[in-house]
Amino acid sequence: MQFTVTDAPTRERFEARDEAGGVVGFVTYQLTGPIIAYTHTEVDPAYEGKGVGSTLARAVLDDARSRGRTVVPICPFIADWVVKHPEYESIVVRSTRKIK
């Protein structure tokens, strides 16, 4: 199954659509200058386990890289995905604050 990911800037999210054009998942974001924070990922339950989340993660990170943006992965799914795909670490910032 193929999915197409497009930016919907007025909704501050990237949307994954199936071959019929229906939205099957999305990643929300907040953009401040060159910094983009990915805040939430959601996949339609009917499409879970079919690669929608990974397709979204790769698309949003490729988009950030191509635009020279710095990524703040607030969303746990995106944060975990980056750990498994270290080729994106160079565009990701993480907190340097020490927890006491």
- What does each of the 100 residues of the chain score in pLDDT, given as a tens digit? 799 999 999 999 999 999 999 999 999 999 999 999 999 999 999 999 999 999 999 999 999 999 999 999 999 999 999 999 999 999 999 765 555 5
CATH class of domain segment(s) 4-91: alpha beta
Angle at 59 between CA 57 and CA 65, to 5 degrees: 100
What's the CA gap between 100 and 87, in Å, rounded? 31
What's the CA gap between 26 and 38, in Å, rounded? 11
Domain map (residue ranges) of the chain: 4-91
